[in-house]
Amino acid sequence: IEPPEKPLQAEEWNRLRESFGSPEIFEEVMFNNMVRCNSPIDVAKSLLTHVAQSNGDVAYNLLIKYLALCVQQGQTSEIHDVYDIMKIRFRILESGAYNLLIRGLSNSDQWRMALTLLEEVKKIMIPSRTNYECCIKAASCHQEMNLAFELYHEMLAKDLVPTLDVLQAFFDFSRGMKGAELQKELFGILLYLRENQIYPHKTFMRSIKLWFESIPGGNWRGHLTSIKDSGQCPVCNHQLEDSDLTEEEYNNLRERIIRDVIHGTDTFRKTSPQVGLAHCTGVKVFPVSLFLQLRKSLVLLCFLQLFDAVNCLAKENARLLVLGRKHMLVNSSNWKREIMKEMQNKADFFFAENISEDDAFLLYATLQSGKHCKFVTRDFLRDHKACLSDSLTRHLFRKWQRGHQISKKMFLSVFIQQPALRYDCVIQTTGDTWHIPYKDTFEEKYSYRVPRKWLCIQQK
Distances (CA, A) of 268 to 207, 271, 273, 385: 52, 5, 7, 19
Name residues whose C-beta falls within 8 Å of residue 394's C-beta, 6 or more positions apart in sequence.
385, 388
C-alpha closest to that of 132 among 109, 108, 158 = 158
Helix (H) or strand (E) holding 220: strand 220-226
* Interface map 312-351 toward other proteins (x if CB under 8 A): x--x------------------------------------
Q: Cβ of residue 48: shortest distance to other proteins, in angstroms?
A: 4
Other C-beta atoms closer than 10 Å to the C-beta of 315 total 9
Q: Given the complex with other proteins, which of 66 and 171 has the nearer CB atom?
A: 66
What is the 3-state secondary structure of 281-319? HHHHHCCCCEEEECCCCCHHHHHHHHHHHHHHHHHCCCC
How far is 395 from 373, CA to CA, in rounded Å? 19
Q: Given the complex with other proteins, which of 52 and 329 has the nearer CB atom?
A: 52
Instruction: State yes or no: residue 94 binds other proteins (CB under 8 A).
Output: yes
Q: Please select the residue that binds other proteins; options are 23, 187, 268, 278, rule is CB under 8 A.
A: 268
Q: Please select the residue that binds other proteins; options are 74, 90, 143, 459, rule is CB under 8 A.
A: 90
Region of 170-178, 231-239, 360-368, 405-413 interacting with other proteins (CB under 8 A): 405-413
Instruction: State yes or no: residue 304 binds other proteins (CB under 8 A).
Output: yes
Q: Given the complex with other proteins, which of 24 and 248 has the nearer CB atom?
A: 24
Beta bridge partners of 322: 292, 349
Region of 3-11, 110-118, 169-177, 279-287 interacting with other proteins (CB under 8 A): 3-11
Q: Given the complex with other proteins, which of 21 and 431 has the nearer CB atom?
A: 21
Q: Given the complex with other proteins, which of 53 and 389 has the nearer CB atom?
A: 53
| Size of the residue set binding other proteins (CB under 8 A) | 63
Q: Please select the residue that binds other proteins; options are 157, 333, 411, 460, rule is CB under 8 A.
A: 411
* Interface map 17-36 toward other proteins (x if CB under 8 A): --xx-------x--------
Q: Please select the residue that binds other proteins; options are 71, 93, 292, 352, rule is CB under 8 A.
A: 93
Q: Cβ of residue 376: shortest distance to other proteins, in angstroms?
A: 16
Instruction: State yes or no: residue 277 binds other proteins (CB under 8 A).
Output: no
Q: Which residues, 99 to 158, sit near other proteins by CB under 8 A?
A: 124-125, 128
Contacts 24+ apart (CB under 8 A), 246-251: 249/396, 250/371, 250/400
Q: Please select the residue that binds other proteins; options are 15, 184, 284, 449, rule is CB under 8 A.
A: 15
Instruction: State yes or no: residue 303 binds other proteins (CB under 8 A).
Output: no
Question: What phi and psi, each to the nearest 5 degrees, are found at residue 293?
Answer: -140, 145
Question: If 0-12 CB within 10 Å is exposed, 13-18 middle and 19+ buried, where does residue 294 land?
Answer: buried
Instruction: State yes or no: residue 414 binds other proteins (CB under 8 A).
Output: yes
Q: Given the complex with other proteins, which of 271 and 458 has the nearer CB atom?
A: 271
Alpha-carbon 297 to chain mean position: 30
* Interface map 50-69 toward other proteins (x if CB under 8 A): -xxx--xxxxxx--x-----
Q: Are 95 and 131 in contact (CB under 8 A)?
A: no
Q: Given the complex with other proteins, which of 248 and 338 has the nearer CB atom?
A: 338
Instruction: Mark 416-453 as b/e (b = at least 16 C-beta within 10 Å).
Output: eeeebbbbbbbbbeeeebbbbbbbeeeeeeeeeebbeb
How far is 364 from 276, CA to CA, in rounded Å? 9
What is the 3-state secondary structure of 344-399? HHHCEEEEECCCCCHHHHHHHHHHHHCCCCEEECCCCCHHHHHHCCCHHHHHHHHH
Q: Are 44 and 66 in contact (CB under 8 A)?
A: yes
How far is 347 from 65, CA to CA, in rounded Å? 69
Q: Cβ of residue 90: shortest distance to other proteins, in angstroms?
A: 7
Binding site for other proteins (CB under 8 A): 1-2, 4, 6-7, 9, 11-12, 15-16, 19-20, 28, 42, 45-46, 48-49, 51-53, 56-61, 64, 81, 84-85, 88-97, 124-125, 128, 266-270, 272, 301, 304, 308, 311-312, 315, 354-355, 411-415
